[in-house]
Amino acid sequence: MTQDAIRAIRAIAPSLVEQLDPQQFEAIEKLLSSVVLPLSEGDVRELVSLLPPDGDTASGLNWTILHLIEAAPAWPHWEALQFQQGEWIDRLMRRLANAGVSPPARPTRN
């Protein structure tokens, strides 16, 4: 289940980018500060999907999202990463690799 605050962020913007207007930034900042830890797998999946394909930081909002994702007990959520692309996903994957965490091996067929 996804938290109401995270669903509300999604309703404001499907992706967090610099082009958000000041009211959107303010609303998203308040919603991010109201997110309750620990995050569920659904929360992590939704937050990952908010990250834009380019490296846009959305005035730091995406760094906040990255830190929330990394603090989640459901992290890493390999399926969420598998279906996303872009600089933020690459950054998350590099940070996992730097921490010595790699995706589970896929079973081989005989």
* pLDDT above 70 (res 36): yes
Cα distances from 9 to residues 24, 75, 90, 104, in angstroms, run: 9, 20, 23, 31
pLDDT at 107 over 70: no
Q: Give me the chain's average pLDDT, please.
A: 93
Q: How many CB atoms lie within 10 A of CB 8?
A: 14
Between residues 72 and 81, the one the model is more confident about: 72
Stretch 45-73: mean pLDDT = 95
**pLDDT confidence tier of residue 105, bands split at 50, 70 and 90:** confident
User: What's the pLDDT band for 110 if we cut at 50, 70, 90?
Assistant: low
